[in-house]
Amino acid sequence: MSTLYLQSIGMSCQTRHQIEQFANTEAAKAAGIELRSGLFDWLGTPPLRTARFLDAGLPENPRESVVDNKGRAFFTIPGFHAFHAFRVKEADGTKRLDIDSTFEREREKFAYQREKFLETDPKDTCFVLGNAQNNLDGEVYGRDEADEYRFDSVRIDALQASLERLFGMPCRLIVVSRADRFYGDPAADPRVRLVPPENSEWKGDDRAWATALGSLLGIDAPAPVHAGV
């Protein structure tokens, strides 16, 4: 049985979390589906910004382009939120942002992840994009930035085209969108499945995601026993 790797292409941490949950279901294991960790796992990456970043060849971020944005690191050139990067642990176990002292560590990590991403084989990989993470609205993006986390088929087309230019071959892209964050007719786009709003801060609903991914991948994949937030 051949393996199909699911790899997050953003736009937030929830995508990475949910494809890992899905890959751990018995139905996904039986179908040969596995998680592939990657560059976009824990970043906030709107699809049009990601498309431009891919077209630019995944360039490094110089020190002056990494800034503090509401207590999180922000890459100003590609326009990505780095939710968990550039942080140091205090004596009490809490973490705080310290870009200067962690920059070299994060630069090396990015270089490694970049090379790993470029080694992706699209023939056995399915890229997954999602926008259902609740705290994208208000906490990560302001009320005037809703277009950053809303999807439509034009944005999905742009991202898929950039992936295919980067890898020089067809790429499979599937999308899980919150119903109120998709413009247009999702039923007309076979790459898209919708999930309803729920109450978690960022993890999302395991069962809704498993249903959506199972439908997109053509398998019956129930969520783990402890589904939900």
What pLDDT, in 10s, does the model give residues 26-84? 999 999 999 999 999 999 999 999 999 999 999 999 999 999 998 999 999 999 999 89
Question: What pLDDT score does 221 carry?
Answer: 56
Residue 143, pLDDT > 90, answer no
Question: What pLDDT score does 16 carry?
Answer: 97
pLDDT class of 223 with cuts at 50, 70, 90: low
Question: What pLDDT score does 222 carry?
Answer: 57
Residues 147/177, Cβ–Cβ less than 8 Å: no
Q: What is the DSSP letter of 186?
A: G
Alpha-carbon distance of 213 to 209, in angstroms, equals 6
Looking at per-residue confidence, does 70 or 168 come out higher?
A: 168
Query: What does the pLDDT look like over 181-218, one tens digit per residue?
Result: 999 999 999 999 999 999 999 999 999 999 999 999 99
Residue 7, pLDDT > 70, answer yes
In words, the CATH class of domain 4-59+103-217 is alpha beta
Percent of the chain with pLDDT over 70: 96
Residues 87/102, Cβ–Cβ less than 8 Å: yes
Query: Mean pLDDT, to the nearest integer, of 14-24?
Result: 97
Count of other CB atoms within 10 angstroms of residue 84: 13
State whether the Cα torsion 208-192-218-22 is positive or negative.
negative
pTM of the model as a whole: 0.93
Query: What does the pLDDT look like over 104-132, one tens digit per residue?
Result: 999 999 999 999 999 999 999 999 999 99
Question: What pLDDT score does 138 carry?
Answer: 87
